[in-house]
Amino acid sequence: MPMRKSSVFLATTALSIILSACVFKKLATDSYDIEFDQAEIERVQDWLEEEADVSPSAERPNVIVIIADDLGKYDISLYGGEMLQTPNIDSIGLMGATCMEGYVTSPICSPSRAGLLTGRYQQRFGFGAQKHEFYQKNRMQYLGFKWFIEKYPWNLIDRDSVPTKEAAEKQGILPNEITIAELLKKSGYSTACIGKWHVGDSEGQKPLDQGFDRFYGFYASHSLFAPEKSEGVVDQKIKKDLTDKYIWRGQRDGIHAIYDQDVEIEENEYLTYRIAEESIKFIKEHNEEPFFLYASFNAPHTPLQAPEKYVSQLGHIEDPVKRVYNGMIWALDDAVGDMMTALREEGLLENTIIFFISDNGGANYTFTTDNAPLKGGKITGFEGGLNVPFLVRWDGMIEPGTIYDQPVISLDIAATAAQLAGVDDHPDYQLDGTNLVPHLMGADIGPAHEALYWKFGWNKIIRKGDWKLMLDVDHGYTNLYNVSKDKFEKDNLAETHPGIVRELTMNLHDWEAELPEELWPPIMKYMYEDEDGTMYYFAD
């Protein structure tokens, strides 16, 4: 009998040890460590400090990039959105060019902004996945999330290893990459980043390290628009959205805090207003010299907070979530209007090229918008995630009311700005975009791009001419759409056009062969169910 008890005890103990080892298995490893190449950083810095050989034909206009956060194409009235009128945003396209086929390089914030700011496909420097603040440290955390937190449309990816905290802190644009700000600064421009950054917050990666003279804003993916329960501001929680609790938890702490230059400050005013005010201040202070302003609004990204004066006028919108969301867009539109007024008063509209864009499509999973009639939304590779509002205004150069219906991409902003400023890009960091001005002025020079490419996790996408191919190498789907005839991606033509699938697949493979490995992995699998019940999976 004692022997039997002893055997049971030993077996139970052994099983407990094995289970504990599995449950508490450490997942964070140094396999994702990011090393900054100091020699390369110094080489690039030396080049940036050399006197620029500015082209004598350079027009050197001021350059303003106004970027919204998670704003869907049909959230504004210019593209046919019916929920809210956005006259100030619309005016940029009405007084300049409306790009009907404007794309971003990623359907999610951080990689998309990295591509825009460098003018290079962000995959060229390993920035394929969203920058993340948190990874599960061990198997127990992973199982806890799976059992108690995870729910549709989110699914945690089961990984044997994840980045360490130190590696995660280095995620972002590598310090040796060259931003638009650094290129234009080389040409004598004053530069400012006002608002959301979200492309690196360690030493060497912040705005003041990446060519910006002025920074006001926050480093993270989100921040509060105003301290919670502020007078005159409506706070709206989204109970059905898994991400909403995390968003509110960030408050104004750490990288979610508001910074003036690199100093944390207390800010009580509504942030959309403050971003516009700081942008206008910069414009007025630099009205007699060329400047580059990156006005990076965080509206209408969650958390949902809108001035009560807007929400009270939107009673026709029954859903309180949608009501506050559209109140945030209204505030954004007014902020853009204030910036346009300042440019007019300073007499700068004829010497300033203005871009308006969103970093990706609307976030369906927050129940704020659905991007209809486009399919999908933020995080997906469908048009609702990648095809965004894209407006360009330059008075006296671009004819008011211009409609451009060929594909363009956020990479073109850096290429356009550099060419207008008369500065060449670094021979080892060549830009992937195209100068859009000749195209928008009607020059008969063909489309701006032969093809556009995307890659995030297992998702690979190409748009070439009328055709868009979507490959999922992990889950085995191949989707082919003629987006000139089927913009809403209803008819998958992969089976009936195998030759086009082969051609575009080869194009994708050739492009991908130029890319390094991603520096960090996605951690979430986002599920999107099509109208016919097909489930698609996208890496986040």
Is the Cβ–Cβ distance between 131 and 14 less than 8 Å? no
Strand partners, 470: 461, 479
As a whole number of Å, the CA-based R_g of the chain is 24
* Residue among 384, 409, 328, 362 nearest 72 (CA): 362
Detail the DSSP E strand segments found in 212-351: 214-218, 233-236, 258-260, 263-265, 291-296, 304-307
Is the Cβ–Cβ distance between 63 and 417 less than 8 Å? yes
Instruction: Tell me what pLDDT residue 20 has.
Output: 46
Is the Cβ–Cβ distance between 374 and 382 less than 8 Å? yes
Number of H helices, E strands in the chain: 15, 23
Give tens-digit pLDDT for 440-469: 999 888 999 999 999 999 999 999 999 999
**Digits of tens for pLDDT over the chain (540 positions)?**
444 556 654 555 544 444 444 555 678 888 899 999 999 999 999 999 998 878 776 789 999 999 999 999 999 999 999 999 999 999 999 999 999 999 999 999 999 999 999 999 999 999 999 998 878 777 777 777 777 666 789 888 888 889 998 999 999 999 999 999 999 999 999 999 999 999 999 999 999 999 999 999 999 999 999 999 999 999 999 999 989 998 999 899 999 999 999 999 999 999 999 999 999 999 999 999 999 999 999 999 999 999 999 999 999 999 999 999 999 999 999 999 999 999 999 999 999 999 999 999 999 999 999 999 999 999 999 999 999 999 999 999 999 999 999 999 999 999 999 999 999 999 999 999 999 999 999 988 899 999 999 999 999 999 999 999 999 999 999 999 999 999 999 999 999 999 999 999 999 999 999 999 999 999 889 999 999 999 999 999
User: Can you say how many angstroms the Cα of residue 297 is from the centroid of all Cα atoms in its chain?
Assistant: 11
Instruction: Tell me what pLDDT residue 28 has.
Output: 80
507, exposed or middle or buried, with CB in 10 Å at 0-12, 13-18, 19+? middle
Instruction: Tell me what pLDDT residue 18 has.
Output: 46
* Residue among 290, 260, 122 nearest 193 (CA): 260
> Which one-letter amino acid corresponds to residue 82?
E
**Element holding 56 (H helix, E strand):** none
Q: How far apart are CA 244 and CA 239, in angstroms?
A: 7
Instruction: Tell me what pLDDT residue 148 has.
Output: 66
Render 428-450 in DSSP notation, one character per residue: TS-------HHHHTT-SS--S-S
Q: How far apart are CA 330 and CA 323, in angstroms?
A: 11
Which pair of structure tokens corresponds to residue 442?
């009607």
Collapsing DSSP to helix, strand or coil, 1 comes out as: coil
Is the Cβ–Cβ distance between 510 and 519 less than 8 Å? no
Give tens-digit pLDDT for 68-78: 999 999 999 99
* Residue among 400, 422, 385 nearest 354 (CA): 400
Instruction: Tell me what pLDDT residue 244 has.
Output: 92
Per DSSP, 523 falls in state -
Q: How far apart are CA 196 and CA 358, in angstroms?
A: 13
Which pair of structure tokens corresponds to residue 460?
């690979």
**What angle do helix axes 411-421 and 109-118 make, rounded to 10 degrees?**
20
Is the Cβ–Cβ distance between 238 and 304 less than 8 Å? yes
Q: Strand 263-265 to strand 467-472: parallel, antiparallel, or no bridges (unpaired)?
A: unpaired
* Residue among 225, 235, 327, 208 nearest 269 (CA): 225
107, exposed or middle or buried, with CB in 10 Å at 0-12, 13-18, 19+? buried
